[in-house]
Amino acid sequence: MQTRNAAERDNLLVATGFLAIGTKGVNTKNPEQFHYDIIDDQIDVTAALSGMTVACARCHDHKYDPIPTSDYYAMAGIFHSTRRSPA
C-alpha cells in the first residue's frame, strides 16, 4: 500500500502489529512449514478477537463450528499474500 508520508506508514504498521506478537518457534530445517505456522498463529489471533477458536479448521470440519475448513484456508490465503517486514 502506498502511503503519503512516513507517519502514515508507521500508523498503518502499528495497526497490524498485534499479528506479529506472540511465540514463534525456530524452524531452520523447514522454512516453508515455519511460514505456514506463522500464518496459523495470525489466524488464531484474528479469530480470538471474535471470541472463537479455529485451530480444528486447519485439518477438518466440525458439524457445528462457525468456521469451516474452506473459510480457514480463505483466511490463510489472505495472510499468505501479505508481505511481512523483517523489521
2-29 pLDDT per residue, tens: 788 988 887 777 666 667 666 666 666 7
CA-CA distance, 31 to 59, in Å (whole number)?
20
* Most confident by average pLDDT, 38-42, 63-67, 69-73: 69-73
- Whether residue 16 is contained in a domain is answered as yes
| Residue 18 located in a structural domain | yes
- Report whether pLDDT(1) > 80: no
Give a three-class secondary structure readout of 28-87: CCCHHHHHHHHHHHHHHHHHHCCCCCCHHHHCCCCCCCCCCHHHHHHHHHHHHCCCCCCC
Q: How many domains does the chain have?
A: 1
Grid cell, residue 78, equals 489472505
The answer as to whether 86 is a domain residue is no
Q: How confident is the model at residue 87 (pLDDT cuts 50, 70, 90)?
A: very low
- Show the domain range for 45: 6-80
For residues 53 and 47, the answer to whether their CB atoms sit within 8 Å is yes
Residue 50 covered by a domain: yes
Q: In this structure, is residue 47 part of a structural domain? A: yes
